[in-house]
Amino acid sequence: MVTKPLYTTISTGKYKGKKLELPSLESTRSTKAILKGSLFDTLQYEVMDTTFVEVFGGSGSIGLEALSRGADHAYFIEKEHDAARILKRNCKAIDETHTTVLCGDSFTLLPTLFSTLRTPTYFYFDPPFSIREGMEEVYQNTLRLIASLPQDKTIAAIVEHMSAEVLPETIGSYTLQKTKKFGKSSLSYYR
């Protein structure tokens, strides 16, 4: 049985209304529209002229939304092959010049990206929920990755996580500014 592709759209900015294909929900989890809307209501115009890194890329919907709203460049890291293929197609369809897709493990690849960042950067972390098989340590590993972010290049680290997962008040030199809950998912902002 052939399944029809699922889509989401960019909600605001120069690419408003453009469709993005979503990877299989068996391998990735799509960010809820209400959560994405809240994220960009919080960031507003701060995202303009910045770099945006979507650490667990999926479809790229968050980073491509940031690009649509004025970010200079969006980087994506995605490990799962089918999701990475769809992510590359989405970037090509929206803005191939201002996007970079890195295929592989976020925990290995993100540190290699630090030296290439030239403008202030937002890091968006949406790791697989720890309830998935093999992901029991994903939050601890993500917290270590956040602690390693270069202070001189980081505007904020934003984490999309299970609401049941309470994140610490500080991660390395970053302090929790706020957490917003959306049912089973939450967004936590560190600066």
DSSP string computed for 64-125: HHHHHTT-SEEEEEE-SHHHHHHHHHHHHHHHGGGEEEEES-HHHHHHHHGGG--S-EEEEE
Inform me whether the pLDDT recorded for 82 exceeds 70. Answer: yes
State yes or no: pLDDT of 68 exceeds 60: yes
Could you tell me which residues come within 8 angstroms of residue 103 by beta carbon, excluding any fewer than 6 positions away?
A: 78, 79, 81, 84
Inter-residue contact 124 to 158 (CB < 8 Å): yes
Residue 1 pLDDT class (50, 70, 90 cuts)? low
- Find all residues with CB under 8 Å of 184, minimum gap 6, and list them: 162, 163, 164
Inform me whether the pLDDT recorded for 184 exceeds 80. yes
pLDDT for the residue 163: 94
Per-residue pLDDT, 137:
85
Radius of gyration over alpha carbons of the chain, in Å? Answer: 15
SS3 label, residue 4: coil
Mean pLDDT score of the chain: 91
Residue 133 has pLDDT above 60, yes or no: no
Q: Is the pLDDT at 162 greater than 80, yes or no? A: yes
Average pLDDT over residues 88-104: 97
Q: How far apart, in whole angstroms, are the C-alpha atoms of residue 182 and residue 33?
A: 11
pTM, rounded to two decimals: 0.93
Q: What's the rounded Cα separation, in Å, for the pair 93 and 165? A: 35
